[in-house]
Each structure stands twice: as C-alpha cells, then as structure tokens.
Structure 1
Amino acid sequence: MTNWSAPFIGAGDAIDASVVVPGSKSETNRALLLAALADGPSTITGGLSSRDADLMRAALAQLGVTIIDEDGAWRVTPPAVFAVPDAPIDCGLAGTVMRFVPPLAALNGGRTTFTGDAHASARPMGGVLDGLAQLGVAIDAPNIPFTQDASGGLSGRRVEIDSSGSSQFVSALLLSGARYPDGVEVVHVPAEAGASVPSRPHIDMTVQMLRDRGVEVSTPDEVTWQVAPGAIRAVDQQVEPDLTSAAAFLAAAALTGGVVRVPGWPVETTQGGAAIADILRRVGAEVSLDDVGGGHGTLVVRGTGTVRGIGAVDLHASSELTPVVAAVAAVADGRTVIQGVAHIRGHETDRLAALVAELGAVGAAIRETADGLEIEGRGAGVLKPALLKAYADHRMAHAAAVVGLVVDGVELDDIACTTKTIADFPGMWSALVTRSGAHG
C-alpha cells in the first residue's frame, strides 16, 4: 500500500471552498434499518455511499430485504418474513452494522452468524448481546465473530444492559423493538457506578426517527427507554449531511485563515457533530449560518489567523469529533483538555492511545488522561514531518489530513480507510489545496 502525502498549504495561501458533504452515516444506516422493518416500501435519498452503508445494505439483503438503487435514491422493500442467511453477515468494522443488525436478525427465528474485519473483535458488543440474551436469543460468543440463534422465539420486554461503552447498544435494541412481541424496555445499568451513556444525541436521533414512523417511544428517566409493540410506518427519508465528516473541512478554514462553506447544514439536528461550529468559534474562527431556508442553511467558517487552545471541552455527547479537535489543538497556541471520551478506546481503534502516538510523532505535547486528552498546543511551527498510522480508522485519517495542512511532510499509511464514510476523501481534500492556490 502506497503512503499518502497529506496536502500542505504554505504561508500566504488560504482555502476558499464550498464542500458538499456526503450524507450522515448515522442517519443513513438507521434509515436503512427502519425501512427494512417498515410496513411497506419507502425511499431514502441523500444516503451515504460508503463502505459502512454498503455493508448495511448487503446485510439487509441477506435477510431478505430488497434494495434497488434508482439514480442515487434507494427503494427499500421489506420482506414478508426475514430470511435466515446462508452465509455469515460481514460487518466489516462498522459499529452500526455489527450492533444494529443482530436485533433485527433475531426476528428471523433462526441462526445468523456475524463476522468482520480483523479489528472488529476488539469492538465492544456486550450491551447488544446481553440484551438479546435476556430476550431469549442464544449467543455463542461475546464479540465478533459470533452466531445467534433465535429459533426459541423472543420473550420478555425489559432488558438491563451496561451502555457506558456505546450509545449504539441502546439504539440497536430500540430500532427493532417495536417488532418484538411485547416491545422493549431498555434500562442502562452500568457495571461501574455512575458511568453514563455516551453520545446521547445519537440515541435522540434513534428516538426521533422512530417517532417519525409512528412508533410510541417513552423515556421515563435518564436511563430508561420504552418502545411499544406495533407497526413501523414506511416513511421516505432525506438524509442530512454528515456533520462529523464536515468537521475536518471546516477545521481546515480555521487553521489556514481561509473560508469553507458547507451547504445543507440543518438548523436543528440530533447529530452530535454539530458541536464543531461552537468549537471552531472558541478556537478563534468566525462561524455563521447563512442563507437559511427550509430548515437548512450554509455553515460558513472563516479563519482569522488566530488558532488558540480552548481549555476544557467535554465531548461526551459528540465524541466522534475527538480526532479532529485533537488535531486542531495540536497546532493551536495554548492548552486544550478533551474530557468525557473514555469510551472511544472501544471505537474503530483505541482512539486515545492512537492520538497520543500519532500526534506525538509529529512533536505535539499530548498525554492521555482517564477520560480524554491533555494537549499543550505550541503552534504548527514546532511540529515536524512524520509517517502516521491510520489504524484502519477513518477519523484518525481525518486528523492526519488536518495536521498535514499546516505541517509540511506529513504522510499517512492508509488513506483508503476513509471510504468508511466518504467515498473519495483524498479527492475532496486535495481540492481544498487547489482552491487555496497551493500545490501540495
């Protein structure tokens, strides 16, 4: 595999670009799953074309769902009865596939095997599999690869699980819960006292998308979610842009003193990635939402020549932003302390350890804490060229690209991993340099 040289923007050059960001990974895969569970056909437009979405579509097809691509719009037709796959379902490294699909597959009344990439076995699965076991599904292993057997049927309603490792554990059971005989009640019972559920905006997204389809969902307290049994109405879905993927492009404006515009930015959203707007404002950029209409606008970030550390920032609810925020902090002037993200040790890789290793390789002063990172930003001028590792993690690749904009000579060992959420990240990123007048 050939190393990727990160495009570099020198002094005197500045980005001036509009970036059309692909659809939200989180919303796309939820929309696909709910369309597969619905009471009739529906269409998804603006869905993300990426490896994660491809894996979700392939998994649903193995379970008997028909998905036809009609000029970029996906027409999804649920089966009368979910199929028992002849072959294992490949989850790749996609958390939404390995966690969301097993609860749906439990409706097929048979045995389903799940496999994935080499790193997939390191991703936590306990909350989902514990919940399914409490509902009567036999599980033969605690992680990928595993086989589940739903031939005994589903019984019961209340499940108690530890969801401190991922909000996806809760979402996974809620998404299919309406189709269970008695619905489902999910209660977060942490193994470690006081450990909360991370990335709650993702659960809010799940709940809202269920309610949009006529599902009765109640949240009597902060650790309980109840889904009543019943039909899931077929609803056509327009997917929002992926605001977390937009973060790297917007950060580029802040770091180079340029301007980046992202159209289609929702005025109101359940995506945790929306927090990047306030973070970049704290860094020193000018941020505005222009041309608002129909619930969307164009988010505009203008760099001011100031890139400062922001002190403490709690990313518990938007932890997917951690790699890009850490990259910005590494080239800023001043201290940044990222808090509330201990759970990202169980993401595509141990992101805290990976960020310490790779940002440290370019000379950043960074250390790992119990729940995050401390970064003493000393400006880009003190950083040095390095070959960085991606760990098969798209967000780590985004972080390397951000640093490489202002540190000449940064390379990455695996840019292909970015296809997880953006089909052509290298092309889109290189276009920023072209727009700056630099040559990379």
Structure 2
Amino acid sequence: MRYSERDALIPEVPVPSADPVLEATHSRATGGAPAAWTAPLATGPLSARLTLPGSKSLTNRELVLAALADGPSTLRRPLHSRDSALMIEGLRNLGVGIEEIPGDGEFGPDLRVTPGELHGSSIDGGLAGTVMRFLPIVAALALGPTSVDGDPYARKRPMATTIEALRGLGIEVSDDGRGTMPFTLHGTGEVAGGELAIDASASSQFVSGLLLAAPRFRNGLTLRHTGERLPSLPHIRMTIECLAARGVRVEEPEPGVWVVAPQPIRALDVQIEPDLSNAGPFLAAALLAGGTVTVGGWPTETTQVGDELLRILPRLGATVTRDGERVTIDGGVGVRGGAPVRAVDLDLAIGGELAPPIATLLAFADGTSRITGIGHLRGHETDRLAALATEIGRLGGEVVEFDDGLEIRPRPLHGGAWEAYADHRMATAGALAGLVVPEVTVDDIGCTAKTLPEFPELWDRLLDRDPHATRWESLPL
C-alpha cells in the first residue's frame, strides 16, 4: 500500500489560520492534488551565487526562547515558511505577542516577540517536528487545557516520548492510549520539574523541547536519555548554545544527561543564520551538473548539521573552497562530462536530514554506496528510507533498504513521476534528479514551503543564470 493511500484513510485536520503560507500548503499536506511540476533540465554547467533564507531549526528554537524570556526579543532575518508560521501561530494561541517589524533581510520582515501570560489553547503542529515536540512543553507552563494535533501523516510520527515526558512532569495528558496526536494536555500554570528519564532514540527534538523550557520549571530539570543511540546530536548542541546565548547554562555531567537549574531566560536581539541544510540540493547540483555554485553568508562557526556538506561533498568528488562567509562548490565541467560522483560509505547519524540529496547524488555514482545511521528518518515527514528507495527505483535506479540505512546501486535512470509524500526534502531530491534526467515530474513541489517557499523560483534561477535575479546572481564563466 502506498503512503498516499494510507494517508487518505485518515480524516483531514482543519487549520484555523489565515496565514497564506499555512493555507498554501495545508491542502497538499492533507491530501489535496497539486499540479505536477516538471523538473528543469540543466543544459550546461552551472554558474550561480545564492543567498538562503534563515534556518528553520534556529528560527523555531529562538521563537520558543523569546516566548519564555524575561522581556521582548527581536529575531532578525528569521525564516518565513510553513514550519515557522505554525510555531508563531501556536505561540500566539498560548498568549505570546509576535509582530512583524521592518528588517534588512531579503526574505521577509524581522520578528518582535513579547512574552505574555500563558493560557491553554490549541496547537496545530502541521508536519513540523519542532512545533509538535517543543510547544506541548511550553503549553505545560500554561493554565488550562491545550489540544495538540497536526496533518494526517503527523498522527503517525513518534510522539509517545513527549506524552510520557509530560506525564513524568506531573501533567495530565489525554490521548486515548495512542501515544500519538491528537492529544490534550492540562496545564496548571507551572511545572515542578526535577528528574526525568526519556528514550529519545527516535528524535533529538524530544531532548531539545524539554531543555528549552527547563529554565522555567520550578525545580529546573535533570534529564537522562535511556535509549541506545541518540540521533542528530548537533541539534542538541544547537539548543544548548541558543540557551547559553540567553544566559542559561546547561551542564552535561555525563553523556546523555543534561542538568538545567531554574533561572531566567534573557531577552535577546538575535540574527538567524541561513539554513545550511536547505543548501544541500543547490550545492549538490554543482557536483551533478558540473560548474560552480556559491553560497553567501555561510557562518564560520555553526551548530547546523548542514555544515557537514563541506566535509561530505568532497568525498563525492566536489571541490569546496571558502572565502570568509562564502562557500563555493565546484563540480567540474560539463553536464555529464565531468568527473563522476564517487561511491562512498557514509554514516549520517549526526546529519540525517542531508540523506535525501546525498542519496540522490549517489544514484549517479561510479559504484555501490551505503548510507548508515539514518533509521530515525523512518519517523520523519514520511518514511524517508522507503520513499527514497521507491522514487529512485521508479526512475530505474536500485536502492536496497536495511534497518538503519540504504544501499544505492547506480543504474541508468530515465524520466518518470517522483512522489514527494508531502515531504519538502523528498521534493527537492526529485528536483535534483531531474537536473540531469529528462522528464522527471515532482507531484508536489509546493510542499517545499515547509522550510523554503522560494524553492521553485530559486531552482529556476539556478539554471537560468539570470543576471537580474534578486537572490541569484551570475558568476563570471
């Protein structure tokens, strides 16, 4: 049975929001039928420079911290996408003031966040893991019941750890024993905190959600991970550094244990870094089609997992150069005449969200490759391992799934329909495949609005090399 057929068995979840980004993506995520998008084909080596919108992971963490801070905060150059819009909507519903103010970024206004008295309400998580796993912990600090729901597939995403964590903190939760959304939590206006043990093997977001709110718990929090493998450790490091910037110290007495004392969260004026994971398909394009792609504003130091691209892509045959905050990927010359993509064995446990573009690249490699450490991707927006195997296979490739990864065996590829499963990273992976394979159609390119609403425009300009583009510029050949 296909994913779309399974999702169709679940009733639609209403989204009570007038936000245009939410409205534009909700019908797709709940079973609507968007028009198929034909991926543009590269006709020569690429030569482009780009600026990326703000990081989703940083934007949503900073929104939560600003909501719990001791005064108003300003987020400069934040991401404006479905995930960030859902976070803003949820925080506003809980009593937080968030307004748009003029800024100097290319992708939308800055945000002014004013903490308010928290009260129970409703949270629509959409397909946003940060929303569905961060905001219930914030809602535990509110007075009154809060209902939590999301898109149909979100009801299949792992949530039992959040629900059991809330109960472990003394919060009553009604979920009819499902351990998934929808559920209702009954906030009492404060959380005692103390010691808590959770199994965060399915997602590091369970840890981050608790750490973000822990300074507001009456007794702070001593959090212990009881599972075997903890995925996406850089995201936990990101959370800890965001807290540190606001004056909150997180102690780590041993691996898998975090201690946060009760303390104020300082208001802050913070600039959001560009989203480096969203750079993945664009940088991979230089390797696949040949030519050069440069990303501006790349931070010299960062906790974003997308920074791993600078170490991964050279293993696949790219040349990476850096000039201050500019990173350039050179893939050689010719659409198909440059050096082939090199086969590799990769452990992507710390950067699983990079797997879709990397797996797609490896479908064009000079031998068999393996990606390991990504079993947790089965619980993301879709089962990404099954989805990648299915969609690359649909184009004539061969991908074998195993418990925590994929084996990619290159075969001659042909055009065909690529299903996105309402998953932004699957949609961009389809665009990447279609860069050098004619007539690849992606069924739902609009789902990229989850983290990058501008993706279709930016992808077209990557290929057009339009010197008048506002966010893309030509580089001299």
Q: TM-score, normalising length from structure 1?
A: 0.94
1:86-97 matched pairs, under 5 angstroms:
88-97=122-131
Separation in structure 1 between the aligned mates of residue 231 and residue 410 of structure 2, nearest angstrom:
27
CA shift at 1:104, angstroms?
0.6
Separation in structure 1 between the aligned mates of residue 190 and residue 266 of structure 2, nearest angstrom:
24
Tell me if 1:180 matches 2:217: yes
Tell me if 1:35 matches 2:66: yes
Residue 393 (structure 1) aligns with? 423
1:331-342 matched pairs, under 5 angstroms:
331-342=364-375
Residue 422 (structure 1) aligns with? 452
Tell me if 1:383 matches 2:413: yes
**Residue among 329, 338, 345 paired with 1:301:** 329
**Cα pair 2:385 2:405 within 8 Å, conserved:** yes
What is the one-letter code of the residue matched to 2:452? I
What is the one-letter code of the residue matched to 1:210? L
Residue 160 (structure 1) aligns with? 197
**Cα pair 1:253 1:301 within 8 Å, conserved:** yes
Q: CA RMSD in A?
A: 1.3
For the residue of structure 2 that corresponds to 1:89, the secondary structure is strand
**Residue among 72, 81, 84 paired with 2:120:** 84
Tell me if 1:269 matches 2:302: yes
1:49-128 matched pairs, under 5 angstroms:
49-71=80-102, 72-79=109-116, 81-85=117-121, 88-128=122-162
Q: What percentage of aligned pairs have identical amino acids?
A: 48
For the residue of structure 2 that corresponds to 1:175, the secondary structure is helix
Equivalent residue pairs, number: 420
CA shift at 1:280, angstroms?
1.1
What is the one-letter code of the residue matched to 1:24? S
1:246-265 matched pairs, under 5 angstroms:
246-265=279-298
Tell me if 1:132 matches 2:169: no
1:297-336 matched pairs, under 5 angstroms:
297-304=325-332, 305-336=338-369
Residue 145 (structure 1) aligns with? 182
For the residue of structure 2 that corresponds to 1:407, the secondary structure is coil
Tell me if 1:368 matches 2:401: yes
Separation in structure 1 between the aligned mates of residue 53 and residue 454 of structure 2, nearest angstrom:
10
Separation in structure 1 between the aligned mates of residue 167 and residue 234 of structure 2, nearest angstrom:
26
What is the one-letter code of the residue matched to 2:380? H
Residue 409 (structure 1) aligns with? 439
For the residue of structure 1 that corresponds to 2:296, the secondary structure is strand
- Name structure 1 gaps, 5 residues minimum: none
Separation in structure 1 between the aligned mates of residue 318 and residue 36 of structure 2, nearest angstrom:
32
Separation in structure 1 between the aligned mates of residue 425 and residue 305 of structure 2, nearest angstrom:
15
Separation in structure 1 between the aligned mates of residue 405 and residue 72 of structure 2, nearest angstrom:
43
What is the one-letter code of the residue matched to 1:285? A
CA shift at 1:283, angstroms?
1.0
Separation in structure 2 between the aligned mates of residue 163 and residue 139 of structure 1, nearest angstrom:
19
Residue 319 (structure 2) aligns with? 286
**Cα pair 1:6 1:410 within 8 Å, conserved:** yes
CA shift at 1:436, angstroms?
8.8
1:339-354 matched pairs, under 5 angstroms:
339-354=372-387
For the residue of structure 2 that corresponds to 1:186, the secondary structure is strand
- Name structure 2 gaps, 5 residues minimum: 1-33, 103-108, 333-337, 468-477
For the residue of structure 2 that corresponds to 1:107, the secondary structure is coil
**Cα pair 2:193 2:217 within 8 Å, conserved:** no
Residue 473 (structure 2) aligns with? none
Which of structure 1's runs of 4+ aligned residues deviate more than 6 A?
Answer: none
What is the one-letter code of the residue matched to 1:168? Q
**Cα pair 2:285 2:435 within 8 Å, conserved:** yes
What is the one-letter code of the residue matched to 2:97? T
Separation in structure 2 between the aligned mates of residue 83 and residue 307 of structure 1, nearest angstrom:
57
Query: 1:124-146 CA deviation, whole Å, 9 max, x = no partner?
Result: 11222211110101111211111
Separation in structure 2 between the aligned mates of residue 282 and residue 202 of structure 1, nearest angstrom:
23
Residue 234 (structure 1) aligns with? 267
CA shift at 1:153, angstroms?
4.9
For the residue of structure 2 that corresponds to 1:230, the secondary structure is coil
**Cα pair 1:24 1:239 within 8 Å, conserved:** yes
Tell me if 1:211 matches 2:248: no
Deviates more, 1:309-318 or 1:149-158: 149-158
Separation in structure 1 between the aligned mates of residue 208 and residue 186 of structure 2, nearest angstrom:
21
For the residue of structure 1 that corresponds to 2:75, the secondary structure is strand
Separation in structure 1 between the aligned mates of residue 129 and residue 343 of structure 2, nearest angstrom:
30
Query: 1:387-437 CA deviation, whole Å, 9 max, x = no partner?
Result: 011000000001101100010110011011000011221111111111299
CA shift at 1:332, angstroms?
1.9
Deviates more, 1:129-138 or 1:392-401: 129-138
